[in-house]
Structure 1
Amino acid sequence: MQNSKRQPADSAGKKPTGADLEKADLDTVYTDLKSSAKGLSKTEAAARLQQYGRNAILEKEESALRKFLRFFWGPIPWMIEAAALLSALIGHWSDFVIISLLLLYNAVAGFWQERKASNALAALKAGMAPKAEVLRDGDFTTIDAADVVPGDIVRIKLGQVVPADVRFVGGDSISIDQAALTGESLPVSKKAGDLGYSGSIAKRGEMTAVVIGTGRNTFFGRTAKLVAGAGQGPSHSQKAVTQIGDFLIALCLLLALLLVGSELYRDIVVARDWHWSDVLDILRLVLVLLIASIPVAMPSVMTVTNALGALTLSRKKAIVSRLESIEELAGVDTLCSDKTGTLTKNQLTLHDPQLFQAKDTDTLILAAALASEAGSDDPIDKAIFAGLADKKILDSYKVGKFTPFDPVSKRTQAQVTDTGGKTLYFSKGAPQAIAALCKLSGDAAKKADGCVSDLASRGLRSLGVARSDDGQSWTFLGILSLEDPPRDDSRETITRARDHGLRVKMITGDDVAIGKEIAAQVGIGPNILTAGDVFTKDVDMDHLPNRIVDCVETADGFGRVFPEHKYAIVKALQGRGHQVAMTGDGVNDAPALKQADCGIAVSGATDAARAAAAIILTAPGLSTVVDAIDEARKIFERIINYVLFRVSMTLDIMVVVVFATVFFGFSPLTPIMIVLVALLDDVPIMTIAYDNTLVPAKPVHWQMRHLLLGSSVIGLFSIAQTLGVLLIGMEWLGNEHWQSWIELSKEQIQTVVFLQIVAGGHLLLFVVRARGFFFSRPWPASRLFAAIVGTQILTVLMCGFGWLVPAIPWAVIGLVWLYMIAWMFVLDLVKRALNHYLRESAYSNGTKP
C-alpha cells in the first residue's frame, strides 16, 4: 500500500506541517515531535491528549432519545398517529388511549430489542480494549492504548498490539503480524528505523518505538474515510415495510374517499338533510376505516421475530449488531470470504521438505528445530517444533548462544552441544541467505533456486536449513516448505454454501499463488486474479466500467487485495443486483464490511471491523456463517408468513367496513372491536418467532410484487369469506323463520363478524405458513399453537358471555366455526394455486422463485 504523509492531527483534525515521519531519519522524527528517547512527562502527555484527542477511531453515536423517536417515524407509525389524533378530535378517548398504547408499545419493544443488541456489542468491545506500555517520567507504565499520544515512547513485546503508528527505535528486531491491516498472512520482521502500523501484533522479539500518529491520523486514515462513506442506506426490510405501508395508505385513502363520498351523497343528494354535525359522524366512519387499515403490531412482530432470531444466532456463535441484518443475510447470494483464519487454520505447518545434504526428513526438521527458539510464539518456529517426529530428541542437545532472526541477515543461528560434547552450529532462514552462507554454486544453486520457485508458484513459503561443525564452513541440508492449511471443514462448508445457492469468492491480501493453492484445496474455482491488475490506479472505485464489473462477477477470487479493492468488489457485485456478504477481521476489511449488505466480522476481528460489521462471529471458520444463513432464512420465512397473513387480514377488514357502511348503512365492526381484533390476532402471533419452518434451499428476498399480489389475492378470498358471514347475517335480520329460531340484532351481527375475523385470521395463518397443504409438515411450533388455541378460547368466551362485545348464542358460534373450517380448505387451494402461478411467473421471467 502506498505510504502517505502522516502527522499528528489536532482536535479539529488539522495536520501541522512538518517532515514525513514515516521516512525521515529518527533525529528528525524526535525533533518534529518535540520528544526524545526518554519519552514524555505525564504533564506533557496530558496536554497532547487534549491537543490531538484520544487514540481511537471515534464512531458517530446516535443519542438514545433520537433512536427511540425513530420508531414514531414511517408509514405505519404515521397511520397509527393519525388514528390517535382523529380519536382525540371526535372525543373517542377510550380509542385514543388504546391506540396510543399500541403505538408506544411498538416503539418501546423495538427500542428495547435494538438496545439489547447494541449493549451486547459494547460489552464485547469493552472486553477487548487494548493496553500499551509507555515511557512516562522515566518509567514504563501500562495505560489504555486510547491514551497514547504522538511523541510517546512505547515498549512492544511478544503478543502485544502495536498501539499506534510508530517508528522502531530500540532493540535488536521484532516480528509483527500485519494481517489485520494489509492482509498478509505471515509476520514481517522490523528493525530500528522501520515503520510499525497500529493494530499489528508482535509475534517475536521486543523493541521500543516512538509514536508518530494516533487515532484518525494513522495508516488506515484512508480506510476510515472509506468506512465513513460506505453503507447501503435503508435495508431491504426497511424498504419493504415502507412499501407495505405505502400500499395500505394508498388503499386506505381510496376507500376513505369512497366512504366519505357515499356518505355525502346519501346526506346531501338523497336525504337532502345536511348539517355540519354530520361531519362528526363521517369522521367516526373514517376513524373506523383508519384503525382497520393499520397493521398495528407489524413493527413489533418483525422486531421481536428478529430479536429472538438474534438470540438463536448468538447461541450459534454469531452476535447480531443490527437486527435488520438478519433479513439481509437471508437474501445473500454471494459470499466474499477472506482466507487466513476463515478458510485456513491461520497456523503454519510443514509441507513436502526438499532434501539436499540431509540424510532424511527427520534430520532436516531436527536441524531447523535446533536453529529455532524454544518456547517462541513465532508461527514458523511453532510449525517446525510441531513437525518433529520425536520431541524428546531435543533433550540430547544443549543450546548455547542463540542469534534470533534479523531483517539484515535474514536467518537465525544457534550454537549447540550434543551428548558427546561436540559443538555444532545450525542456521535457518531465507533460502537465498542460507544458500549464500553455504556458498552454493553450479547445479546445487540451480536446484535450490528451482525448488524455491516451484514452491512459490504453489503458494508455499520456503525456508533454508544449514549445519556447520566449526561455524565457518556450512552444509546446505535442504529446504522446508510452510503452508497455512485449510480448515478441516472448509471444503465441506464451501459445498454446503453452493447447495444453499451461494457463490463463494476468496478475497485475500496474500499472493495469487497462495490463493490459487488454497482455492483448489477447498473447492473454490481456479480463477483467482491479482486485484491490482483489475482495479488500476486510474479507475474510480465508485463508478467502475462494465469490463471490470464483468471481471468481478466471473472471478472466483482476488489476491493482493487492498481496502479500496474490497470495497470496490462489493460495490460492483451490488451494482449487478447481487446481495453480498463480506467476511473480514482487519482494519483493511472495514469499508467493505460496512458497504456489504451483510458485513460479517470473523472471530478475533479488530475493533474497526466489528464496528463496521452487522454480524460478529465468536467462533472461527466459515461454517458458522452458513449456519447463520440457515437460521436467517428461517427467520425471514416467519416474517413473510406473518406479512402475508397481516396484509390479507387488513385488506379484509378495510373492504368489509367500507362495503357494509356504503351498502347497509352501518359499520360491521366498532372501533373497539377493531382494536380488539388487532390485539387478539397480533399479540399471540408474536409467537410466530418460534415457529417451525423449512429452510429455503436458495436465497430469499423481499419480492414485493409477488408479496403484495399474493396478499391481495388471499385478501380477496378472505373478503369473500367475511362478506359471506355479513350477508348471511343481514339476511338473518330480515328472515322471520330464522329469527324465530335464533333472534339476532345488528349489534350481534357485529359480534358474529368480529368472531369470524379473529378466528378466521388465525386459521388463515395456519394456511399461509405452510408451502404445501396446511396440515403438512413442519407443523406449527407448540408455542404458536398454544397461543392461538388460547386466543380462540378467549374469543369464544367473549362472544358467548358478552365480554366487551354483545353476546351471541352458542349455536351461532358453532355455525360460524363450521363455516370457517370449510373456508380454510378453500383458502388452502387458493394459496397452492397462487404459489404455482408465482413460481411459473418467476421461471418465465428468468428470475429465482
Structure 2
Amino acid sequence: MPQPGSAHNHSKATAALSGGTRVDLQTAAPDVVFTALNTSPEGLAQSEAEARLKRYGPNAIREKEKSALLRLLRFFWGPIPWMIEAAAALSALIGHWPDFAIIVALLLYNAAVGFWQEYKASSALAALKASMAPEAEILRDGEYKTLPASAVVPGDILRIKLGQIVPADVRFISGKSISIDQAALTGESLPVDKTVGDIGYSSSIAKRGEMVAVAIGTGANTFFGRTAKLVASAGRGISHSQKAVTRIGDFLIVLCLLLALLLVGTLLYRDVVLAADWRWSDLVNILRTVLVLLIASIPVAMPSVITVTNALGALALSRKKAIVSRLESIEELAGVDILCTDKTGTLTKNQLSLHSPQLFAAKDEASLILAAAIACEAGSTDPIDRAILAGLVDKRPLSNYRLQEFTPFDPVTKYAQARVTDPKGNSRFFCKGAPQAVITLCKLSGNRAGRASACVQKLAARGLRALAVASSNDGEHWSFLGILPLEDPPRDDSKQTISRARSHGLQVKMITGDDVAIGKEIAAQVGIGQNILAAGEVFAHTKNMDHLPKRVVDCVERADGFGRVFPEHKYAIVKALQGRGHQVAMTGDGVNDAPALKQADCGIAVSGATDAAQAAAAIILTAPGLSTVIDAIDEARKIFERIINYVLFRVSMTLDIMVVVVFATILFGFPPLTPIMIVLVALLDDIPIMTIAYDNTLLPKNPVHWNMHHLLLGATIIGLFSIAQTLGLLLIGMEWLQNSHWQSWISLNKAQVQTVLFLQIVAGGHLLLFIVRSRAAFFAKPLPAVKLLVAIVGTQALTVLMCGFGWLVAAIPWTVIGLVWLYMIAWMFVLDLVKKAIYLHLRDI
C-alpha cells in the first residue's frame, strides 16, 4: 500500500529553503530535510525549541470551544419552541399559572434532552486528543529528555522505541529498523516496517525495534491532525428527523396563525365592535380563547415522545449488540440505502490464515509449513507467525528442533532466519520472508525463478499475500522449499449478510486501506461485486473533497468498493453519495475512519474500534461482523414506523382540536374545551403513547424516509375526517341543549357538553392510533403490543372515571359515556377506510 502522501497531503508537509524553494519534507533527502528545518542530528537547543513552540504552537489538536450557554439557548429557538414559549407567555399574561408551569416544564425537558445529546456528540475531538502520545523522548541541548508530546516542534530529534506512540509526523534518520502499527490511521491490516528515510505518522505505535527520527510536522500539520480537522468540519448538521419536526412545527404555526386571525377577528367584531358596552375583560376573554387555541396547536410532547421512543428503541438495539450514542441516528439508520463497510474485521475475520501451500523443493505441505514454523520467533504475537503456527497441524516435530540463533525479520534483507539443531544433531538453517528476497537468497534462475515469480503474481492477483520459505545445511547454499499464501478470510456469515442487506434494499460498498487485488478477492467471496477501484486514482486530481467533479461522483456511485483508501477519500466518498441524495451508513474502527463516520448519515463504529472512531460514530457495535448492522437496520426501521404512526396520530389530532376550538367558538359562542382540558388531553394522549416504542409493527422491506409532503397530506385528510367526527358530536350536543324533549331524557349543560367533547377527543385519539398504526385493517395483525394496550386501556379507564365522577371536569351521566363510546366505535370503521385509501394512493408515507 502506498504511503498516505497524496498531493492533498504533501502540501501540508513542506518547508522553504533559504532561496524560497518549497521542499516536500515527506520525500526529500535527509540532508535537505535538515537544511529546510534548520536542524541537525544533534537536535535543537532548548531556547530554539521554545521559540519554535511559540511560532508553530503546541503539538496538539486545537478546537473552537462553543459556549455551553449558547448551545443550550439554541434549543429554545425554532418553530415548536416558539409556539410553546408564546403559550407560556400568554398563560402568564392572563394568570393561568397551572398551565404556565406545565408548559414551561415541557419546554425545559425538550431543551435538556437535546442539549445532552449534542454534548455527547461533541466528544469526538476529545477522544482524538486523548489518543495523542502523552510523552516523547526529545534530544535537547545534546541529551535525550522525556517531555510532554505537546512540546515537540518541527526539527526536534526524537527517539522512538517499542511500545511508544509516535508523537509527530517524522522521518526516520538512524537505526536498523522499526515496525509501526498505523492501521488506525491508514487502514492497513499489518504493521509496516520502516527504515532510514521512511515516514512515521503521528499517533501510530511502534511494535518492534527502535529508531531515531526528525519531526517534520506537529499538531494540525500532521497526518493525524488533518484527520482531526476533517472530523471538526464533518457532519450533516441538522438531521432528517430534526428537519421533519421543524416542518411539522412550521405547518402547525401557519395553520394556527390563520385560525387565530379568523378567531380574533370574529371575536373582536362581535364582542367589541358590535357591543355597546364592551369592557377590558372582554379582551381578556379573547386572549383566554386564543390561549386555548395556541395550546391546542402545539404538539408540546412531540419532541419528548420522539426522544423517548428513540431511547426505548436504543435499548432494544443494545440487546442486538448496537449501542446508540445519538438518538436521532436511529431514524437516519432506517433510511440508509448505501452501506459503506470496511473490510478487515468486519467482512473478514482479521486473522491471517494459511491458504493452499505452493510446493517447490519441499516434499509435502506439512514439511513446508514446519520449515516456516521453525523460522518463527518463539512466543511471537506477529500475525504471520501466529498464522503459520496455527496452520501446523502436528506441532510435535517442531519440538525436535533446538534453536541456536534467531534473526528477526529485517526490512533490509526482508526475511527472518533461524539456526537450529535438527533431530540428528546436525546444524540447519531455515528462513521465511518476502518472495523476491528469498528467491535472490536461493539464487533461483531460469524456469524455477520464472515459476516462483509467476506463482507470486498469481497469488497477488487473487489478493493473497505470499511468504517464501527456504532451508540450508550450511547457511550459504539455500534450497527454495515453496510459497505459503496468506489470507484474511471472510467471516463465516459475511456472504449471507451481504445477501440479506440487498434483500433489504441496501447497496453495499467495501472501503479498505488494503490493495485493490485483496479487495477484489474478498468482494468476490462475499458477493459484493468486482468493480473495486483504487481510491487514489479516482480522486487523483481532486483538491477540494467538499466539491467533487461530476465524473468523480458518477464513479463513486457506480463502484462496488475502493482499495488503498485514505481518510480524506472515505470522507469524500460519503460526501459524494450524499450529494446524490443517498443516505449513507459508514462502518469503521480507526482514527482514519473518524471523519467519514461523523460525516455519514449514520456512522457505525465496529467492535474493537478506537475511542476516536466511537466518539465520531452514532452507533457503536459490541459484536464483530456486519450482521449486527443489518439487525440494527431492521430494528431502526421498526422504530421509524412507530414514530411515523405517532406523527400521523399527533398531527391529525392537533388539527382536530384546533379547528373544533375555532369553529365552535365562532358558531356557538363558547370554547368547546377549557385550557385545563387541553393540557389534560396532551398528558392523557401522549404519556401512555410513549409505550408505542414497544409496539408490534411490520418490517419495511426498503429504506424508509421522511416524505413530509405525503405525511402532512395524509395527516390532514385523516384530521379532516376526525374534525367531522368531533363537530358531529358537538352539533348533537348543542341540539341536545336546545331540544327540550332530549333534555327531559338526560339533562346536559354547556360544561357537560365540554366534558363530552373531552371524552371523545381523548378516547377517540387513542382509537385513531389503533387505526393509523396498521397499514391494513385496524384489527389485522400485527396486533398492538401488550404494554401499549395496557397503557391505553388504563388511560381510557381513568378518562371514563374522570368524566363519570367529575374529576377536573364536569361530571356527565354514565349513559352518555356509553353513547359516546358507541359513536366513536362506529367512526373507527369510517376512519379505517379513509386510512386504507390514503395508504393506497400515498404508498411512501
Q: Please say if residues 42 and 139 of structure 2, whose CA atoms lie closer than 8 Å, have aligned partners that are also in contact.
A: no
* Aligned mate of 1:483, from 480, 484, 487: 487
Q: Which position in structure 1 is the counterpart of 2:161?
A: 156
- How far has the Cα of 1:796 moved from its partner? 1.6
Task: Give the residue type in structure 1 aligned to 2:161.
Answer: I
3-state SS in 1 of match to 2:323: strand
Q: Which position in structure 1 is the counterpart of 2:690?
A: 686
Query: Does 2:639 match 1:635?
Result: yes
CA distance in 2, matches of 1:694, 1:409: 62
* 1:201-212 alignment runs, 5 A limit: 201-207=205-211, 209=213, 211-212=215-216
Using a 3 Å threshold, how does the CA distance of structure 1 residues 120 and 533 change in structure 2: closer, same or farther? Answer: closer
CA distance in 1, matches of 2:803, 2:813: 8
- How far has the Cα of 1:110 moved from its partner? 4.1
Q: Please say if residues 133 and 156 of structure 1, whose CA atoms lie closer than 8 Å, have aligned partners that are also in contact.
A: no
Task: Give the residue type in structure 1 aligned to 2:10.
Answer: S
Task: Give the residue type in structure 2 aligned to 1:629.
Answer: I
Q: Which position in structure 2 is the counterpart of 1:845?
A: none
* Aligned mate of 2:787, from 768, 783, 786: 783
Q: Please say if residues 29 and 197 of structure 2, whose CA atoms lie closer than 8 Å, have aligned partners that are also in contact.
A: no
Using a 3 Å threshold, how does the CA distance of structure 1 residues 37 and 586 change in structure 2: closer, same or farther? Answer: farther
Q: Please say if residues 607 and 623 of structure 2, whose CA atoms lie closer than 8 Å, have aligned partners that are also in contact.
A: yes
Q: Please say if residues 191 and 407 of structure 1, whose CA atoms lie closer than 8 Å, have aligned partners that are also in contact.
A: yes
Deviations 1:441-463 (A, max 9, x none): 11111111111111111111111
Q: Which position in structure 1 is the counterpart of 2:107?
A: 103
3-state SS in 2 of match to 1:785: helix
- How far has the Cα of 1:309 moved from its partner? 2.3
- How far has the Cα of 1:273 moved from its partner? 5.6
Task: Give the residue type in structure 2 aligned to 1:217.
Answer: N
Query: Does 2:10 match 1:4?
Result: yes
Q: Which position in structure 1 is the counterpart of 2:265?
A: 261
Q: Please say if residues 204 and 378 of structure 1, whose CA atoms lie closer than 8 Å, have aligned partners that are also in contact.
A: no
- How far has the Cα of 1:509 moved from its partner? 2.2
Q: Please say if residues 401 and 420 of structure 2, whose CA atoms lie closer than 8 Å, have aligned partners that are also in contact.
A: yes
Query: Does 2:294 match 1:290?
Result: yes
CA distance in 2, matches of 1:5, 1:538: 13
Q: Please say if residues 157 and 207 of structure 1, whose CA atoms lie closer than 8 Å, have aligned partners that are also in contact.
A: no
Q: Please say if residues 168 and 195 of structure 1, whose CA atoms lie closer than 8 Å, have aligned partners that are also in contact.
A: yes
Q: Please say if residues 542 and 548 of structure 2, whose CA atoms lie closer than 8 Å, have aligned partners that are also in contact.
A: no
Task: Give the residue type in structure 1 aligned to 2:605.
Answer: A
Q: Which position in structure 2 is the counterpart of 1:13?
A: none
Deviations 1:396-441 (A, max 9, x none): 1111221122222111111111122100111111111111111111
3-state SS in 1 of match to 2:252: helix
3-state SS in 2 of match to 1:399: strand
Percent sequence identity is 73
Using a 3 Å threshold, how does the CA distance of structure 1 residues 26 and 695 change in structure 2: closer, same or farther? Answer: farther
Using a 3 Å threshold, how does the CA distance of structure 1 residues 825 and 37 change in structure 2: closer, same or farther? Answer: farther
CA distance in 2, matches of 1:693, 1:75: 30
Query: Does 2:380 match 1:376?
Result: yes
Using a 3 Å threshold, how does the CA distance of structure 1 residues 321 and 365 change in structure 2: closer, same or farther? Answer: same
Query: Does 2:746 match 1:742?
Result: yes
Using a 3 Å threshold, how does the CA distance of structure 1 residues 731 and 193 change in structure 2: closer, same or farther? Answer: same
* 1:348-363 alignment runs, 5 A limit: 348-363=352-367
* 1:100-139 alignment runs, 5 A limit: 100-112=104-116, 134=137
Query: Does 2:663 match 1:659?
Result: yes
Q: Which position in structure 2 is the counterpart of 1:800?
A: 804
Task: Indicate the larger mover: 465-474 or 141-150.
Answer: 141-150
Query: Does 2:179 match 1:185?
Result: no
* Aligned mate of 1:317, from 313, 317, 321: 321
- How far has the Cα of 1:275 moved from its partner? 5.4
Task: Indicate the larger mover: 328-337 or 45-54.
Answer: 45-54
Would you say how many aligned residue pairs link Structure 1 and Structure 2? 832
- How far has the Cα of 1:648 moved from its partner? 0.6
What are the ranges of 5 or more consecutive residues in structure 2 without an aligned counterpart?
none
Q: Please say if residues 158 and 212 of structure 2, whose CA atoms lie closer than 8 Å, have aligned partners that are also in contact.
A: yes
CA distance in 1, matches of 2:109, 2:693: 18
Task: Indicate the larger mover: 235-244 or 132-141.
Answer: 132-141
- How far has the Cα of 1:665 moved from its partner? 0.9
Task: Give the residue type in structure 2 aligned to 1:591.
Answer: P
CA distance in 2, matches of 1:225, 1:241: 31
Using a 3 Å threshold, how does the CA distance of structure 1 residues 488 and 61 change in structure 2: closer, same or farther? Answer: farther
3-state SS in 1 of match to 2:820: helix
* Aligned mate of 2:469, from 465, 486, 489: 465
- How far has the Cα of 1:239 moved from its partner? 0.6
Task: Give the residue type in structure 1 aligned to 2:630.
Answer: V
Deviations 1:306-361 (A, max 9, x none): 22222333343333232211111110000111112211122211112111111111
Task: Give the residue type in structure 2 aligned to 1:4.
Answer: H
CA distance in 2, matches of 1:578, 1:798: 50
Task: Give the residue type in structure 1 aligned to 2:735.
Answer: E
Q: Please say if residues 203 and 377 of structure 1, whose CA atoms lie closer than 8 Å, have aligned partners that are also in contact.
A: no
Using a 3 Å threshold, how does the CA distance of structure 1 residues 45 and 782 change in structure 2: closer, same or farther? Answer: farther
CA distance in 1, matches of 2:63, 2:805: 58
3-state SS in 2 of match to 1:299: helix
Q: Which position in structure 2 is the counterpart of 1:434?
A: 438
3-state SS in 1 of match to 2:582: coil
Q: Please say if residues 168 and 222 of structure 2, whose CA atoms lie closer than 8 Å, have aligned partners that are also in contact.
A: yes
Using a 3 Å threshold, how does the CA distance of structure 1 residues 656 and 231 change in structure 2: closer, same or farther? Answer: same
Task: Give the residue type in structure 1 aligned to 2:332.
Answer: E
Deviations 1:343-398 (A, max 9, x none): 11222111121111111111111111112212222211111111112122211111
- How far has the Cα of 1:26 moved from its partner? 7.3
Task: Give the residue type in structure 2 aligned to 1:153.
Answer: L
Deviations 1:810-832 (A, max 9, x none): 22112212222222222222212
* 1:211-610 alignment runs, 5 A limit: 211-267=215-271, 271=275, 277-537=281-541, 540-610=544-614
What are the ranges of 5 or more consecutive residues in structure 1 without an aligned counterpart?
10-15, 843-848
CA distance in 1, matches of 2:170, 2:385: 26
* Aligned mate of 1:25, from 24, 30, 54: 30
Q: TM-score, length-normalised on structure 1?
A: 0.91
Task: Give the residue type in structure 2 aligned to 1:25.
Answer: P
Task: Give the residue type in structure 1 aligned to 2:107.
Answer: L
CA distance in 2, matches of 1:607, 1:144: 21
CA distance in 2, matches of 1:280, 1:17: 79
Task: Indicate the larger mover: 133-142 or 723-732.
Answer: 133-142
Q: Please say if residues 131 and 142 of structure 1, whose CA atoms lie closer than 8 Å, have aligned partners that are also in contact.
A: no
CA distance in 2, matches of 1:654, 1:281: 17
Task: Indicate the larger mover: 793-802 or 221-230.
Answer: 221-230
- How far has the Cα of 1:642 moved from its partner? 1.1
Q: Please say if residues 128 and 591 of structure 2, whose CA atoms lie closer than 8 Å, have aligned partners that are also in contact.
A: no
Q: TM-score, length-normalised on structure 2?
A: 0.91
Q: Please say if residues 14 and 23 of structure 2, whose CA atoms lie closer than 8 Å, have aligned partners that are also in contact.
A: no
Task: Give the residue type in structure 2 aligned to 1:286.
Answer: V
Q: Which position in structure 2 is the counterpart of 1:772?
A: 776
Q: Please say if residues 489 and 623 of structure 1, whose CA atoms lie closer than 8 Å, have aligned partners that are also in contact.
A: yes
- How far has the Cα of 1:790 moved from its partner? 2.0
CA RMSD in angstroms, aligned pairs only:
3.1
3-state SS in 2 of match to 1:405: strand
CA distance in 2, matches of 1:727, 1:445: 98
Task: Indicate the larger mover: 429-438 or 563-572.
Answer: 563-572
3-state SS in 2 of match to 1:404: strand
Q: Please say if residues 180 and 192 of structure 2, whose CA atoms lie closer than 8 Å, have aligned partners that are also in contact.
A: yes
Deviations 1:438-496 (A, max 9, x none): 11111111111111111111111111111111111111111111111111111111111
Q: Which position in structure 2 is the counterpart of 1:88?
A: 92
Task: Give the residue type in structure 1 aligned to 2:826.
Answer: A
Task: Indicate the larger mover: 291-300 or 761-770.
Answer: 761-770
* Aligned mate of 1:699, from 694, 700, 703: 703
